Structure 1
Amino acid sequence: MRPAGPAAQARPARFSPARRLLCEAGGMARLLIVHHTPSPATQVLLEAVLEGARTDEIEGVEVVTRPALAATAVDVLAADGVVLGTPANIGYMSGALKHFFDGVYYPCLTDTAGLPYALYVHGNDDTAGAVRAVEAIAKGMSWHRHRPPVSVTGAPDAAAREACWELGALSALATLERVG
């Protein structure tokens, strides 16, 4: 049952009742960043995403960061948007990010439909297989990709860092739009 009132009626049904009440009470939007960061290159990209998501120009978003092996279904169910970060390992996403998806798939399958997500991937040679795999799972969960993935090969340069900063900032905005 949905709470009464015009604000509640305007809320999409995809919010859990508890999350809807929190948003209506003026709670902050929550952006969850799930990452596997085993290398200096992926750390640089994560830091750029975090800087963008936490920019002073965007207010009202709580940024929650979880390593892929520690992120849970509860984290996803409490989120209003998700950023996923992974290295491309042997043409696929990291095992850690796949483990995350395995753990959240069924508990989150129906309650997170429409969740905005974004992706950044780092690889030494190629990221196409990792991007394809993540997008297939996100599509299966009915998540909505709000930005094209940021794919970086080799050492991250200024353009890669800027693209990740922008991905973080725009993900924070997409999270606000979903709540607002």
Structure 2
Amino acid sequence: MTQLAAKQLLIVAHAPSPNLQRMLDAIVRGAQHEDIEHVEVRVVKPLEAGADEVLAADAIILMTPENLAYMSGALKDFFDRTYYPVLEEKQGLACALVVRAGHDGTGTLRALKTILTGLRWQQVQEPLLCKGAWDETFIEQCEELGMGMAAGLDAGIF
């Protein structure tokens, strides 16, 4: 019997607060669900992630807080450093977005969608916008998003 090569799910997440860390932990927990067999999950902070991580990925989850109606500076730095090195090779990369917004998050989502359009990455799930006052349901939503991404990779959907 041939062993299937594991697909690589990259999570690039800026989680500077305890609640954002809880959201990230939930994404990872979902992505590593016991029923998902052929997916390796790699979590990298935006300031440490580079083109090599993206080039090795079969799918990517991007998580950021809303900062001044925009993505975090750390995630913007990630895009500044990796955009051109991955542009040609990673067109069509399956991706999902998670934004923790204290207000409405529309500026953050608009900026991210503009970058993803330029990269030609394919959003395979609706962006998860966790906005307003903290809500414990954000944790469940993050876990579901992580599980959905990993299950899609595991099933060969993307």
TM superposition score normalised by structure 1: 0.82
Q: CA deviation at 1:155?
A: 4.6
Out of 161-170 and 78-87, give the one that drifted further: 161-170
- The counterpart of 1:127, out of the listed 105, 114, 132, is 105
Q: Which has the larger radius of gyration?
A: 1
For 1:72 and 1:46, locate their aligned partners in 2 and report how far apart those are by CA, in whole Å. Answer: 19
Superimposed CA distance per residue, residues 60-89 of structure 1 (whole angstroms, 9 cap, x where no aligned partner): 000000000000100000000000000000
Corresponding residue for 2:6? 28
Percent of residue pairs identical: 42
Distance change in 2, residues 1:179/1:167 (3 Å): closer
Comparing 37-46 with 73-82, which one deviates more in the overlay?
37-46
Aligned length: 157
Taking the TM superposition and a 5 Å limit, the aligned residue runs for 1:69-148 are: 69-148=47-126
2:104–2:132: 8 Å Cα contact kept in structure 1? no
Residue in 2 aligned with 1:68? 46
Equivalent-residue separation in structure 1 for 2:145 and 2:134 (angstroms) = 15
Question: Letter of the aligned partner of 1:33 in structure 2?
Answer: I
Secondary structure class of the residue paired with 1:89: coil
One-letter amino acid of the structure 1 residue matched with residue 114 of structure 2: A
Q: Does 1:37 align with 2:8?
A: no
Unaligned ranges ≥5, structure 2:
none
Deviations 1:22-70 (A, max 9, x none): xx97321000000111112211211111111011011100000000000
